[in-house]
Amino acid sequence: MDLSEFLLARIAEDEAGENTYATAIGASTDHDQRRWWAECEAKRRIIDLAQQARSQGDVVVTVYGGSSSAPPFGAVGGSGGGGGGGSPGRRTALEQVLRLLALPYADHPDYSEEWRP
């Protein structure tokens, strides 16, 4: 399971949980539910953007390091972590965003410490 798949699965779980919770207590307002669904949709769009960028080669959405080539468009400095042999590397801004979106789920058994920002 990669980070995008992990996030999409957690969003689906969150949506299912919100439906169950709202039904059980009958207290969620329409405004709360609309905001909840909008948040889930926004997360999906961010994940989709990262996947599109990866497939189009616009940015590298993985950790890299030690290269003499210029960093890809959108790259930001960051520590290596996960697959870089401990050497410092750079991650794209989109990779950082996906990792941050995953933080609330760090206690989930499928969460990989490689994803920790």
Sequence spans of domains, the chain: 3-108
Mean pLDDT, residues 78-103? 61
Give the N- to C-terminal CA distance of the chain in Å, as an integer.
18
pLDDT given for residue 64 in this prediction: 43
DSSP assigned state of 70: P
Q: Which residue has the higher pLDDT, 57 or 86?
A: 57
Taking residue 99's Cβ as centre, other Cβ atoms within 10 Å add up to 19
SS3 state of residue 5: helix
The two three-digit tokens of residue 109, written as one number: 């058994």
Q: pLDDT for 31-47, tens place per residue?
A: 777 888 899 999 999 99
More confident residue, 92 or 14: 14
Express each pLDDT in 40-73 by its tens digit: 999 999 999 888 877 776 544 444 443 334 344 3
- Is pTM beyond 0.85? Reply is no
DSSP string, 14-57: HHHHHHHHHHHH----HHHHHHHHHHHHHHHHHHHHHHHHHHHT
Distance CA 81, CA 83 (A): 6
